[in-house]
Chain A
C-alpha cells in the first residue's frame, strides 16, 4: 500500500527556498536587539594577565564589554561541553588557542563593534604550546588542561574516564582475538602510517544565535543549532535553572555538517542577554568559523598481517586524534569511530588504541562522518597497497576479506543488515571495473581506484515525536529534528503521511521549539531518518489507532477493517473524511487526536577492557566510492574525471533526496581530499577565509558524478530505512589516492593531494632531486 515511501517528492520547503523566503536565524531581528563581537586570543597558550576594556567601553555605541568576571555574575561554574566540561563561556585565567574567546563587546552598530573589539587590550603571559597530536601525547608535553571533568550527559559517554594531567584526554581500546597469534599466522606484515589534515565545515550560513530574556524570568534562544534539546539541557545546567525556563528554537539551517552541534554561541549569547536584559545577537563571520570548530586531524598507524593468498589475519590500529583545545565531541569520535578502525573486514585478531589528544589548535568536533573518513583514509589506502604488493586485484582483495552477514565485527557484534557485499558489487558495476580502461599517455596518465567504509550509529540515543490531528482533519508532526538541507522535514512528512493515508505535502512539520516539540538527542550521525523516523511512525500509528476506533464506531465494524485513504476513513463502500470523524468524535470541529512516539534502540555497553559488545550499534552504515583520475605528471595536478558513490540506504524513503545527499557528501569530501586544508603558523590559522581556504566550486566538478544506493533493509529501521547523510563521504579520499597510485605509481599517505605533494612524490620516484629554494 506504500504510496509515500519510496517516492522522490521534492522538498516540502522548495518554494520558500527558491524565492529566498525560507526562514533562517541569520535573518532574525528582534526589537531592541544589540549585537556582539567576540574578542579572541592572539596567543596559542597563555595566562591572561590583564584585560583593559576602558578604551573600547568609551567608544560611542558600545553598550558593554563582557569578560569572564561578568560571566561569573550569571554562571558560577562556566564550563561546558558534551563530553567533558572543559570549555568556559569566556576564557577564565587561561587561553588555550589562537581564537579562544576572551571578551565580548556589545553594541548597536556592527561596524563600531569591530573597532571596539580591536581596542580591548589583553595582556598574556605566554606558555609553551603544542600543536601536533603525536607530540602532545608524549610525556613532558605542555599540559593544556590541568583538570578534566567528565560531563555524563549522554549515556554512551557516561563511562568515559578522562585522564587529567596529560593531554591524552581519553584512551579507548579494543582487544579482539589474539593479536600475536594472528601476526604469527601471517606471511606478510605491512606497517604504514597515514595522516589526515585539519579541515573545517564552513556552512554558508555562519553559526548564529539570538538570546532574548523573557518578561517572566525565562530565556528564549533562537539558534542555528543541530541540537536544540541539548542546548536547553546544557544551558539549564549552567544557569542552575529547570529546563522549562528556557525555550530553544531553530529554523532552517544554512548547512550544518556538524559545525552547529552541542553548544557554540548559545552560552555566551545567553549570558550577555541576561546581563543586559536585552536581546543579543551573536553571528560569526566566515573567518570566525575557522576559530570555532574544525575536523580532527589524525595520525593512524596500521600494522596488518596478511597470508600469501590475501587474507587479512591480524591488524593493530593506533590512532591519535588532534582534538584541539577543547574536547567538544572528540571523545565520542575517539570511541565510536575508533572501534571501526579495522574496516569492514573479517579479521580474526584485532587491537585498536584510539587517543583523544588536546593540542593548542581550534577545537575539533564532528564533521560529516564523525572521524570515519580519517580512518577509511588509512585502512583503504593500506588495503590498496597490500593488494598491489600481493598482485591481487584491489576489488578482489576487498571482496575476499569483506565481513559477511552474521560474521562478528571486531567488537563482537554480528554483522546484520549491512550491505558490504552489495555496495562492493554495485561499485564494481558502476566503475565498469571489469572493462578495459584508457590509461592515458604522455604527461596525462589516467587511473582508477575504489574504497569502502563502515560506520556505526551513535547508540543508544532517543527521539520523541508527536503527531497531532486537528479538528479539521489536518495533521502536524512535532519533532526536534533540524532540517539543515538533508530533507528531514520531507521524509518525516512522508512517513506520517504513509501511515495516515495522507499526501506528505499536506503534513505540516513543526520546527524545533523545545516548548513545543519533544526531545531529540540531536540531528547528527545520520540518525534522524532511523530514530526520529521510528518515533514519527509510532506516533502516527497511535493516531491511526484512534482514528480506526472512531471509524469502527461510525461504520459499526472492527477497527482493523477501517482503512485510511486520502484523508478518509474507509470501510468497504463507506467513507468519512477525517474532518467528519473529528466532528463525530467531538461533536463539532474541535479537539485533537494526539499520538506520541518515542524510540531508543537497544545497546550493550562495551567491556572497558576489551571494547567488545554483542550489540554495539543499532545499524551499520556502508559507503563505497570509486574515482577515475587524470594526473598531469609535470605539475602533479590531479583531475577527478569520474566520481562514483554507493551507499546502503536500507530502504530509500525518498530516492531523489538520497542521491543528492550521497553525491553532496562525496563532493564535499572531494574538496577535503584535493585541496581544502587549514594551515597554521604557531597555532594561528593563516587561511581563515574562503579566499585562501578554497572550497570545491563548479569548475572542479568531475565530468561524471554518479550516486546510487543499494537497499539492504534495516530490521528496525522505518520501512527498513537507514541514515545516509554521511555515507557518501566515507571512502572518497582513499578512492582518489588509490586512483592516483594506479595512474602514476606514487602512494600519497597524507592528505590533501595537492599538486605539489604529488609532483614531489613523482620526482622522488624518478630519483630526481628537487631543487629547494629558500
Chain B
C-alpha cells in the first residue's frame, strides 16, 4: 500500500506524519490528529461537515486527498480564534442560537468565517450562495443567517473603531 511522509502547517504549527496515498484529508485529521471538528457525513462534498481550510481556501475534507496538503497550511475550527478567545463568528453563533445539534456547526462557522474574509458585508443573497454547500438537518438556517449578519456588523464596527482610534 502506497504511503508517504508529508509535512504541513496545521492550525499554525508545523507537523508531519505518514499517510496512505488514498487517505482522505478528513480521515487523516481525525485519525492522526484527533481533530474531531472535521466530521464525515454525506461523503459527497454536499453537507460541509468536513470543511477544512487549505492554503486559505475552504475544501471538503471528504473529497480531498491527504497527501496533497504536503507543504501547505491547513486550518480547522480548532485553530480559530486567538488564545482561547472565540472568533466573532463563533460568538455570533452562540448569541443567535445558530445551531441545535451542533454537528454541522464547525463547518458552518468556518465557511461563514471565510465568507466574511472575502466579503465583509454580505447581503442575504451572498450569504445564501456562500453557505449553500452546507446543510443543517436541524434547519437552523434563519438563525445562521442572522448570526453571519451580526458577525459582519460586529467586524464592521470593530474596524471603524480602529480607524477612528
Contacts and interface: CB of A to CB of B under 8 A. Distances in A.
B137 A255 contact: yes
Interface string B55-78: 000000000000000000000111
Interface string B17-43: 000001000000010000111110111
Contacts of A285: 43
B139 A668 contact: yes
Contacts of B131: 698
B15 interface: no
Interface string A54-95: 000000000000000000000000000000000000000000
Contacts of A14: 93-94
A254 interface: yes
Nearest to B41: A204
Chain A, interface residues (CB within 8 Å), range: 35 or more
A666 B139 CA distance: 9
B135 A204 contact: yes
B54 interface: no
Nearest to A201: B137
A701 B141 contact: yes
Contacts of B100: 255, 485-487, 660-661, 664
Contact of A17 (B30, B42, B102): B102
Interface stretch (B2-10, B103-111, B153-161): B103-111
B139 A20 contact: no
Interface centre among A17, A18, A26, A665 (most CB of B within 10 A): A18
A19 B43 contact: no
A671 to B, nearest CB: 8
B77 A20 contact: yes
Contacts of A485: 99-102, 138
A487 B97 CA distance: 11
Interface in B118-150: 124, 127-129, 131-132, 134-145
B37 A20 contact: yes
B142 A20 contact: no
A690 B50 CA distance: 15
Interface in A191-210: 201-206
B97 A18 contact: no
B86 A15 contact: yes
B37 to A, nearest CB: 2
B94 A15 contact: yes
B132 A697 contact: yes
Nearest to A703: B124
Nearest to B99: A17
B42 A667 contact: no
B67 to A, nearest CB: 15
Given A14-B94, A699-B129, A20 B76 contact: yes
B145 to A, nearest CB: 7
Contact of B44 (A201, A255, A691): A691
Given A690-B42, A695-B137, A699-B128, A204 B142 contact: no
18 contacts: A13-B102, A21-B78, A26-B39, A27-B30, A201-B137, A204-B103, A205-B39, A257-B137, A286-B42, A485-B101, A485-B138, A487-B100, A660-B143, A695-B135, A697-B135, A698-B145, A699-B129, A705-B142
Interface of B: 22, 30, 35-39, 41-44, 46-47, 49, 76-78, 80-81, 86, 90, 93-95, 97, 99-106, 109, 124, 127-129, 131-132, 134-145
Given A27-B30, A205-B101, A695-B137, 12 more contacts: A11-B97, A19-B80, A19-B86, A22-B102, A204-B103, A255-B100, A485-B102, A664-B139, A689-B42, A696-B139, A697-B134, A699-B128
